Amino acid sequence: MLQDPLTLYKLIVLYMLSRVTFPMTAAQVSDFVLGREYTSFLTLQQVLSELSDAQLISSETVRNRTLLSITGEGRNTLEYFKNRINGAIRQDIDSYLTENELSLRNEISVQGDYYKSTSGEYEAHLVAKDRGVSLVELTLSVPTEETAEAICDNWQKKNQKIYQYLIRELF
């Protein structure tokens, strides 16, 4: 048995990230870990911070989402200590990822972010990907930050409909 519970929580996060081919959001990892009551929110935040500081995971913040990926060093560490994760926990993670892969992947495949351009306008940058390949990538210039934010929010909700419209109209 592990002496330090934080080590187990770190291994759980590394194992989760190693089992997917796309970055997961911190919220997705939290939903699983907290939903199974493995640990508390504050402890999980400490775990994510320590994994990032040790460069076992990488994190990138895009708008209001933090994207997490396992690094090469994280994979090496996991390979060395993987046997310290209880088989039932590994099975629980594998089942969760199998059952939710499509929704997890879709959530991360659609991204919208905005920034202020040098002209003073705001640019909403919208991307929809499938298996790492960009299906559509748009940049829209708009006059206000509120409009750019609304475009990004609506992109999350309506991207499939917009993509289908573009394909239908352009082909």
**CATH code at position 19:** 1.10.10.10
Q: Are residues 94 and 121 in the same domain?
A: no
Structure tokens at 15: 């194992």
What pTM does this model have? 0.74
Sheet-wide strand order for 122-130: 110-116, 122-130, 133-142
Residue 2 has pLDDT above 50, yes or no: no
Q: Is 75 helix (H, G, I), strand (E, B) or coil?
A: helix
Residue type, 148: A
Q: Are residues 120 and 133 in the same domain?
A: yes
* Residues 97-153 pLDDT 10s: 999 987 888 777 888 889 999 999 999 999 888 777 888 999 999 999 999 999 998
Strand partners, 68: 24, 59
* Residues 39-80 pLDDT 10s: 999 999 999 999 999 999 999 887 678 889 999 999 999 999
Total domains in the chain come to: 2
Q: Are residues 93 and 45 in the same domain?
A: yes
Q: Are residues 152 and 116 in the same domain?
A: yes
Domain range for 165 is: 109-170
Q: Are residues 24 and 44 in the same domain?
A: yes
Q: Are residues 100 and 23 in the same domain?
A: yes
Distance CA 38, CA 31 (A): 11
Instruction: List the one residue out of 13, 26, 20, 22 whose CA is nearest residue 108.
Output: 22
Angle between helices 26-35 and 5-18 (to 10 degrees): 130
Q: Are residues 67 and 21 in the same domain?
A: yes
Where a domain ends, among 58, 80, 106? 106
Q: Are residues 98 and 116 in the same domain?
A: no
Q: Are residues 76 and 156 in the same domain?
A: no
Q: Are residues 118 and 98 in the same domain?
A: no
> Do 12 and 94 form a contact (C-beta atoms < 8 A)?
no
Place of tokens 């590994």: 90
Q: Are residues 51 and 124 in the same domain?
A: no
